[in-house]
Amino acid sequence: MGKGMRKADLTRKTAETDISVEINIDGTGEYDIKTGAGFFDHMLDQLSRHSLIDMKIRCDGDLHIDAHHTSEDVGIALGQAVSEALGDRKGITRYASLDLAMDETLTRAAIDVSGRPYLIWDVEFSAPKVGDYDTELFKEFFQAFSQHAGITLHVTNHYGDNNHHIAETCFKAVARVLRTAMEIDPRQADRIPSTKGSL
């Protein structure tokens, strides 16, 4: 699947959430995201903008309970869309890592777009919420996203005092490594980046 063709459009409906996702991996970071959870939307905006993946996401979820199902199910749907858009993953760079700074906070993200899902989440928050959003749900989102995108993802917060900054550096760091790892490597644009011949 060549550059400019890596798009996906899907819906996912359960008793808990009704979600639609449209993405273009080879976009410019345009976003139109409405999940009903304000801080989560803000983080997804960062994910889109800094990965350069165009994202349109709508979620009608059971927020009268909490944001758990919304966060997890958006992660599932977005991960499925990324996996679909990547196709056979031919020509991708595959690996990337980055330390991302924001004021007093430093967070590292490392990724292998391998087809083998795994999440290491070494991030702690000093408060149970950022605004009205439960901080434990960040891990739930990335767990669902990595599983359904078929990526190995390691996220480590080295240090930070402000929980907003910690969350934001996680999303921005993941965005940047996604961007790098999913870019087409011109030296192997027609090859799968694995000695096995498939990902």
**Residue-wise pLDDT tens digits, 53-84:** 999 999 999 999 999 999 999 999 999 999 99
The predicted model gives 152-163 an average pLDDT of: 98
Other Cβ atoms within 10 Å of 77 Cβ, number: 25
Residue spans per domain, the chain? 7-188
Superfamily designation of domain 7-188: Imidazole glycerol phosphate dehydratase; domain 1 (3.30.230.40)
pTM of the entire predicted model: 0.95
In this structure, the dihedral spanned by the alpha carbons of residues 187, 192, 196 and 199, taken in order and rounded to 10 degrees, is 140
